[in-house]
Structures are given as C-alpha cells and as structure tokens.
Amino acid sequence: MLFDSHSHIQFPAYDRDRDSVIKRMRDAGVKTIAVGTTALTSSAAIAAAVRYRGDVWATAGFHPAHAALRWYHDKNELKTAVREEFDADRLKELARASEVTAIGECGLDYYRTKEKEEKNRQRDVFIAQVELASELKKPLMIHCRPSPKTADAYGDLHGILKSEAAKLKGANLHFFAGSAETAGKFLELGFYFSFGGVVTFSRDYDEVVRHLPLENILLETDAPYVAPEPFRGKRNEPAYIGAVAERIAALKGVSAEKIAAATTENAKRFFSLL
C-alpha cells in the first residue's frame, strides 16, 4: 500500500474521468487525501471523500494564493474565474466534517509577492487557520513557497509557529522546498515533510531528503500538478506516487517497499487514520 498525502482529485481537472482516476489509484494500491484550497474546493474534497470512502479523505483550508492582492484564476482548480474571500465561519463549519483529517492547505506564498500589505493578508488568514486547527484538534497542512531569491517565507512561517507548535496536533510542510538547515528548525517542532514528483527530476531536494528521519517523511503527488518521471508533462494523479517512493528509497539507500510501508504508517499516524 502507498499513501498519497496531498492530491486535488476533487478539482475540475478530473471532472471528465474522475472514476477512472480513482480506479487506477485503487489498482495501484494507493489511498489519498483530497486537499482543499478554498471553501468551494474543500466542500468538493469532502464530497469526494464521501463518494470514495475508505480510499479518499479530505482537508479543509484556504490557500495563501487566494489571499493575494493580485489573484489569478487556475483553470485546473476552479471552473469559473470567481474569486472567493476568506470566511472563517464557513471554513470552520466544513472542517467539522468527520471526513476532514487536517486544516489546510494554508500558509504563506511569497513567490509573486513583495508588498507588505499582501504578506500581512496572508499572515492573518493563516493565523486564523492555525487557531482553527488548534481548536478542532486537527493537524495543519502547510503550503510555504518562498520568493525566488530568498527563504523569507520559511523564516516568517517559523516565527508564527514556534510558539504555537505545542498547541497543535501536528503539521506537515507540503512540497517542502527548503534547505536541510531550514528543515532542522521545523523538525525541532515535530513537523512532518512531504515530497512529490519533483524529486524524480531535480537534485535540489536530495540533501534534505537524506537528512530527514524517515519517520517524519510523507509522500505526495500534488496532483494534477508536477507529475514525476516517467510521466512528466502529463496530468499528475495519485497512481503515480510509486515513482516518488522509488526515488526517496534510492536517496535513503533502502527498498521502495520499506519507504511505502514507513510513509503509509506515517500518514495514518499524522491524519489519525490508525
């Protein structure tokens, strides 16, 4: 069994063949978490978890890109170019669903952001979700993307969470792209780290994967984005998670079977699916 800790199989990118995608996932022995990015996509994630119960679970969250001043429409994510404003009460209502295993994805995204006002908007929305996770006793699914030249987002994220970590049930840094040194700071807080298809074609992640304890690593696809080799350039899907497991195994010097078993147990523990 393999566990894809972060996918978006509820997105419109799969509307025409979602059942087929789920069948391929099941045939590959994979289970997944459908991760919400707005109230709308969180609701869809919950619906997917209900429809594919036992194979799919959900999260509820508000992505920092939707708190940006210069919002852009991702057609993979949303059918129509209608911006959703953050509504803490609505998100809390969704997050109470039994299918919701974590709050997020939420966090900080500075990739296209320089303005202090925009960073403050993201920070406020993130802190509201940190508080929600603490209240509902559900872990955080964190999105953190630094600007191209600095790791400032990770520094700001650590500044927010270092005093909150003890109140949280847990946190996962999805698609972690920081250094081994940065990883060490979050490892001290007991956080988990997930890696996806990019590790199969970029060597930028080799050091940090080797550095991290296996018990703190999760696998992810981030489907429909960033498909691994040999599927690069195609729409990603949970069935492709095996390629990520194989690359992590090579970096760790262990078998792919050991990575599959360990990361599946990690996911069950993190999402309280034991």
Q: What totals of helices (H) and strands (E) does the chain contain, helices first? A: 9, 8
- Check residue 111 and give its pLDDT: 87
The mean pLDDT value for 83-111 works out to 97
Is pLDDT above 90 for 70?
no
- Check residue 150 and give its pLDDT: 65
pLDDT band for position 151 (cuts 50, 70, 90): low
> What pTM, to 2 d.p., does this model score?
0.97
Bigger pLDDT: 68 vs 7: 7
Which DSSP letter does residue 235 get?
P
Q: Which two tokens stand for residue 263?
A: 């990361």
Query: How does 26-52 read in b/e, with b if 16+ C-beta sit within 10 Å?
Result: eebebbbbbbbbbbbbbbbbbebbeeb
The residue to which tokens 């040999």 are assigned: 230
Is pLDDT above 90 for 271?
yes
Is pLDDT above 80 for 114?
no
Torsion of Cα atoms, 148 then 242 then 5 then 258, to 10°: -110
pLDDT band for position 148 (cuts 50, 70, 90): confident
- Check residue 77 and give its pLDDT: 96
- Check residue 115 and give its pLDDT: 78
- Check residue 112 and give its pLDDT: 79
- Check residue 118 and give its pLDDT: 85
For residue 195, list its beta bridge partners: 219
* % of the chain residues with pLDDT over 70: 99
Encode pLDDT of 9-47 as tens digits.
999 999 999 999 999 999 999 999 999 999 999 999 999
Distance (Å, whole) CA 209 – CA 162: 22
Average pLDDT across the chain, whole number = 96
What are the two backbone dihedrals, phi and then psi, of residue 194, each rounded to the nearest 5 degrees? -115, 145
- Check residue 256 and give its pLDDT: 98
Q: Which two tokens stand for residue 245?
A: 């497991």
Max Cα-Cα span within the chain: 47
- Check residue 68 and give its pLDDT: 81
Q: Which two tokens stand for residue 23?
A: 């069948």
Least trusted range by pLDDT, from 72-76, 85-89, 110-114, 222-226 = 110-114
The mean pLDDT value for 187-215 works out to 97
Of 35, 38, 23, 145, nearest to 87 by C-alpha is: 38
Distance (Å, whole) CA 233 – CA 98: 35
Residue type (1 letter), 181? E
The mean pLDDT value for 222-239 works out to 97
Of 185, 253, 179, 248, nearest to 217 by C-alpha is: 248
Is pLDDT above 80 for 214?
yes
| Domains, in order of start, for the chain | 2-270 (3.20.20.140)
Distance (Å, whole) CA 5 – CA 264: 9
pLDDT band for position 71 (cuts 50, 70, 90): confident
Bigger pLDDT: 222 vs 150: 222
